[in-house]
Amino acid sequence: MSHVSTVEVEVKSAAALSAACVRLGLSAPVVGSHRVFRKEFTGLAVNLPGWRWPVVFDLAAGVVQTDNFNGYWGDRAELEKFLQAYGVEAAIEAFPPHLQPVEVKNADGSVTLRAVDRRTKSKKSQSRKVYR
């Protein structure tokens, strides 16, 4: 029996955040206080391609702080791509050690993760779908 989940992303894991940066070829997140337009936010900051201001993640609260000025200071698609990468990395992080994640990119832009049991090399019937 297959299990498909739609994942809504709440950013809570520094390791998955860093892995998403590596996955997308971005600089590592920077801890500290960061200016986003006229405000200061504390957390992990990620600089997305084409964005004027960093995206700041408050992991304790699961909050994302950003300002792209309705697309003038950054393409929202870059943030969505990053959040999808984070969702995939967070899901992989949650796999038990004996399960190996196998990632499949779907035609609609979503990603499906399937689990392969490392002990038997048999495909488990569980999968998680991370939407764009």
Confidence at 116, pLDDT banded by 50, 70, 90: confident
What value does the mean pLDDT of the chain take? 86
Average pLDDT over residues 78-107: 92
Residue ranges per domain, the chain?
14-95
Confidence at 4, pLDDT banded by 50, 70, 90: very low
Percent of the chain, pLDDT > 70?
Answer: 84
Q: Each residue of 37-84: pLDDT tens digit?
A: 889 999 999 999 999 999 999 999 988 899 888 888 889 999 999 999
How would you class 38 by CB atoms within 10 Å of its CB: exposed for 0-12, middle for 13-18, buried for 19 or more? Answer: exposed
Let me know: does 78 contact 48? Beta carbons within 8 Å. yes
87: CB partners within 8 A, 6+ apart: 7, 9, 130
How many angstroms separate the Cα of 91 from the Cα of each of 39, 42, 70, 124? 32, 25, 30, 15
Higher confidence at residue 18 or residue 9?
A: 18
Confidence at 30, pLDDT banded by 50, 70, 90: very high
Average pLDDT over residues 82-87: 94
